[in-house]
Amino acid sequence: MEPGERESAAGASVPLARLRALVASLREAVSNRFLSLRAKVVSLLTLIGAVLVALAGIYTIYDFRTSLDLQAWSRAAGVGDAIIYAARNAETLTDLEPVIDAVAGAPGLKGAAVTGPDGLVAISSLPSWKGKPLSIDVPLKKNEPVAIAQQKRLGGYGRYPGDYAFAIDFPRMGERATVLVRVDVDQLASLNIADAWNLMMWLVITAILAILSISLLLHRIVVAPIEALRHFAESGGKGKAEAAGPDDEIGAVARVLSASFRARSEGEAQLITLAATDGLTGLGNRSHFKSRLMQDIAACEREEGRSVGVMILNLDNFKDVNDTLGHDAGDRLLQRTAEILRGCARDGDTVARIGGDEFGVIMPDIKNADDALQLASRLVRAVGTPFRLGAQELQQAACVGLTLYPQDGRDADVLIKNADLALSRAKQEGAGACVLYRHELHLRAIERNTIERDLRTALARNQLMLFYQPKVDIATGRVVGAEALIRWRHEERGFVPPSLFIPVAERSGLVVPLTKWVLDEACRQNREWQDQGLPKIGVAVNVSAIDLRRTDLTDTIANTLIRHGLSPKFLELEVTESMVMQDVDVVIGTLRRLRSLGIGIGIDDFGTGYSSLAYLKRFPVKRLKIDRSFVHDVADRRDGDVIPKVIIDLAHALGVKVVAEGVETADQYERLQALGCDEVQGYFAGRPMPAAEFEVFLRNSPAGGLRRAERPAAAGGSAA
């Protein structure tokens, strides 16, 4: 290839390469970006439409040109016929002149000429043509016009059509000549152009109509079904699968999808039902109960004046049935209870098993508390009818706690919690009791008031007493201290546990004189034992959060010690973790003052609160008491000793002694000893006992190490 050719080839390949790049980038854009099927179809049809319109244009131009050529030729041929006829009879060339003049005046004709024997124009309708030669590049035919290039010398444009030539004979002269006819193509074109536009318009309209029909058809049979299928798939099978398409491939895909959606939703529904059902009784479970209660509350909120009743029924001593008759019998009993509750429930009520032996009933349209109580006692009576379980004749008692929306709580959790509280009260009242929450509240208030009143009297009349529980050194087995625990023997109620009256005392402020009394009594007693020559031990007194926040606590304690002549090293105060974590700075100040007096501080129930280790370092603490709940599992083979070990190591790292409270067995004792615990307190070493009994216990306390065989015996003492 020559350099010139190569350049032109290279020049041609540049636009081609650009075109290719454009197509490639278009293809990438289409494939990479999401274009809806509808957009794709519309673009494709638009492209086809544009091509059709272009083809219509090309065809119109082609048709315009061919019909123009045909008309021009037939004009030339018409003129030619007249000239040929005249030539047949002409004697001389000039005989043709009138004919040429005549035909030249015909419409659509610009001129006509005949050449002489010398090949120059001899006769012409236009004087300017005369004497000029013709240059004809195509072979001429006789008597039939042929299109030739326009004769430039005769004022033509070269390639522009319109000039026709043919050969003629002059039989009389025995000569030949060439005839030139120039048709007025411009005039013909202007006559034809309207037809061409008409044709073009019809073709374009036809193309547009065709495209529209195709697009409608495509929309109906492809786009719309695929869009419906997409909607069907995206909505997870909502609507009818048939909507996605007729009985073709799209329809088949829709049906397969629909089947899989159906299978999935059936599976989910089954799971939801299973998750909300109690397997044993077939009733709803606790979560079902709660969600139904929420629905019923929501429905009730919309209607003014309606109430929802919530009932929790608990079987009395169900554990005994399991333990004595076996778990199968227990299961049968639960199933029977479920059947009875289901049978007694009214339309719209929900019955569920919400715990091991606990059932819940929701009464969504209860009129008043009396109605709820009536239904509850009907259920309790029905459950209580005697029945046979295998060979046994049984009678099962039950209790019910009741709450009413909206009076007893405005949300499901509160209503269930309050029904539980009412149930606890019902259990206290005994078999078959049904208690309304608001009665329980009332009772509790009365009880609190009674306790407060009686406690005040007990304090004034000196009806309280202290029990002492020994703390034993784990290495030597010797009693090294005692915890003073308050006891109240009520004239009518009998023994009232501190867990019941201490909170009442704290709330009413009675705890301040109470602590004063305990401190006084414990110090007095300790001094008395020392005076009797018993081993000198420290006595621990529990103080409450309220005591700890009183500014006169240090003075009170100092005065008490002085009054009884007891050295501060024989007194220890027990504070709980949660107490010291509130108002930390105030508490630390108080504890430091006490510590500076020489009084020991012990942190009680350690591990149950949330003490920050950073604070622990700042507390002037002498002892940590590992809470009973951790000691309980310490001998457990698995990982029961993890927490006690961490507490012991932590305490030793801080230089603090560790006491384990609630030690009940030899295994626990030995495990704690192995873990490096310093002291133990609990029923194993000795129960809390009255002062006189403790005195004997202390007197008999071994001077040396506690031998293994002696330990259980040493663990005697009164039950408290």
Residues binding Mg ion (CB under 5 A): 542, 574, 604-605, 661
φ/ψ bin of 307: left (φ > 0), alpha (ψ from -120 to 50), beta (otherwise): beta
User: Where does 160-236 have alpha helices with state H?
Assistant: 185-218, 224-234
Q: At residue 562, what are phi and psi to the nearest 5 degrees?
A: -65, -45
83, burial (CB in 10 Å: exposed 0-12, middle 13-18, buried 19+): buried
By CB under 6 A, the residues from 460 to 499 that bind ligand C2E are 469, 485-486, 497-499
Task: Say which entry of Mg ion, ligand C2E, none residue 640 contacts (CB below 5 to 8 A, set by partner kind).
Answer: none
Task: Report the amino acid identity of residue 438.
Answer: R
User: Measured from the CB atom, is 145 or 688 closer to Mg ion?
Assistant: 688
Regarding 542 and contact with ligand C2E (CB under 6 A), the answer is yes
- Using CA atoms, how far apart are residues 340 and 387, in angstroms rounded to an integer? 12
Beta carbon of residue 682, minimum distance to ligand C2E (angstroms, whole number): 3
Q: Out of Mg ion, ligand C2E, none, which partner does residue 572 contact, by CB within 5 to 8 A per kind?
A: none
Q: Which of 113, 502, 573, 677 binds ligand C2E (CB under 6 A)?
A: 502
What is the 8-class DSSP label of residue 345?
P
Backbone φ, ψ for residue 230 (5° rounding): -60, -45
Region near ligand C2E per CB under 6 A, out of 190-198, 362-370, 431-439, 661-669: 661-669
Contact window for ligand C2E (CB under 6 A) among 321-329, 371-379, 562-570, 657-665 = 657-665
CB of 542 to Mg ion, least distance (A): 5
Q: Is 521 in the site for ligand C2E (CB under 6 A)?
A: no
Binder of residue 715, out of Mg ion, ligand C2E, none (CB less than 5 to 8 A by kind): none
Going by DSSP bridges, is the β-strand pair 600-606/623-626 parallel, antiparallel, or unpaired? Answer: parallel
Is 254 or 659 the residue whose CB approaches ligand C2E more closely? 659
What are the residues whose beta carbons fall under 8 Å from the beta carbon of 466, sequence distance 6 or more? 484, 485, 486, 487, 518, 521, 522, 525, 691
Q: Does 664 bind ligand C2E (CB under 6 A)?
A: yes
Angstrom distance (rounded) from CA 496 to CA 438: 24
As measured in angstroms, the least distance from the Cβ of 537 to ligand C2E is 17
Q: Is 569:541 a contact under the CB 8 Å cutoff?
A: no
Instruction: State which residue, 210 or 666, has the beta carbon closest to ligand C2E.
Output: 666
Q: Which residues pair with 359 in a beta bridge?
A: 313, 353
3 is written with which tokens? 């350099």
**Nearer Cβ to ligand C2E (316/547):** 547
Q: Which of the choices Mg ion, ligand C2E, none does residue 385 contact, using the CB cut-off of 5 to 8 A by kind?
A: none
351 binds, among Mg ion, ligand C2E, none (CB under 5 to 8 A by kind): none
State the binding string over 556-585 for ligand C2E (x if CB under 6 A, else -).
------------------x-----------
Q: Which of 422, 518, 626, 677 binds ligand C2E (CB under 6 A)?
A: 518
Q: Residue 378, Cβ neighbours under 10 Å: how many?
A: 12
CA-angle at 331, arms to 326 and 336, nearest 5°? 130
CB 711 within 8 A of CB 684: yes
Angle of CA points 454, 459, 462, to nearest 5°:
115
Is the distance from CB of 626 to CB of 632 less than 8 angstroms? no
Closer Cβ to ligand C2E, 60 or 469, answer by number? 469
- Minimum distance between the CB of residue 680 and Mg ion, rounded to whole angstroms? 13
Show the site string, 627-646: x = touches ligand C2E by CB under 6 A, - = not.
Answer: -x------------------
Binding site for ligand C2E (CB under 6 A): 469, 485-486, 497-499, 502, 518, 542-544, 574, 604-605, 628, 661-664, 682-683, 688, 720
